[in-house]
Chains A and B, each alone.
Chain A
C-alpha cells in the first residue's frame, strides 16, 4: 500500500487561507469517506482536526475544513494563525486488510 501524496510544504501569511491536498487511489481515498487529518506539533500528541472527510471534532476551530473529490482529499485552513504552524498528515481507511494509509505529510509555515 503506497502512502498518500501531500505537498511537502505550504506557506501563507497571517489571516490568509491555505489548502493542503492529499492524493490517493481508488482503493483508499476514492473508495471511502473515511479521510482524517492530523496536526503534529513537536513533543505533543498528534491532534485530530478533521474526520470522515469534513467533520470537525469538538474543540477544533471552524477555521479548519475538509473536502474530497475523487481520489483527492483536501484540508483548508482559513484565517491562518501563528499556532497553525505545524506538520499535517492525512489518513484514509484502506479496507479490512491494510486498514489505514497515511499521507507523506505537509509542513505548514505561517509567514
Chain B
C-alpha cells in the first residue's frame, strides 16, 4: 500500500519561500510509471493542481503560479519536494502531495495534507 506524507514548516513569512517535502513509502519515486504531484486547497476554496515531476526529470507546472514553483526529486530518500517562492497570503492552503499514474492520468494516492499559513 503506497503512502505519502507531507512535512515542512506550518508558517512562512510573506515574500519568503515555502518548502515542503513528501516522503513516499510502499512505492518508489524511481518508477517511470508515475508522476509525483503537488496539489493545494486554500481555506474554503477548491483544489488547485500545482505541478508534477517524473523520474525522468521532466516537470510541468500550473501556468497560474507564474513560474514561482519548483518540484524536485530525491531518489536516495524516496522523497520529492516543492518550493514556492515569493509567497503571499493567497498561498495559505492545505498542501497535498500525490501520485498520478502515467497511463491513465489518474491521481491515485494522496497524502493527508499539511496546512501552510503565510503570515508575518
Contacts and interface: CB of A to CB of B under 8 A. Distances in A.
A100 B61 CA distance: 11
Contact of A45 (B52, B64, B109): B109
Among B52, B64, B105, the most chain A Cβ lie within 10 Å of the Cβ of: B105
A100 B99 CA distance: 13
Nearest to B96: A46
Contacts of B60: 96-97, 99
Contacts, number: 61
Which residue, of A44, A91, A99, has the highest number of chain B Cβ atoms within 10 A?
A: A99
B47 A89 contact: yes
Given A99-B49, A99-B60, A101-B49, A51 B110 contact: no
State the main secondary structure of chain A at its contact with B: loop
A86 to B, nearest CB: 14
A10 interface: no
A51 B106 contact: yes
A18 interface: no
A46 to B, nearest CB: 4
Interface in A84-111: 89, 91, 93, 96-105
Interface of A: 1, 3, 32, 34, 36, 38, 43-48, 51-52, 57, 89, 91, 93, 96-105
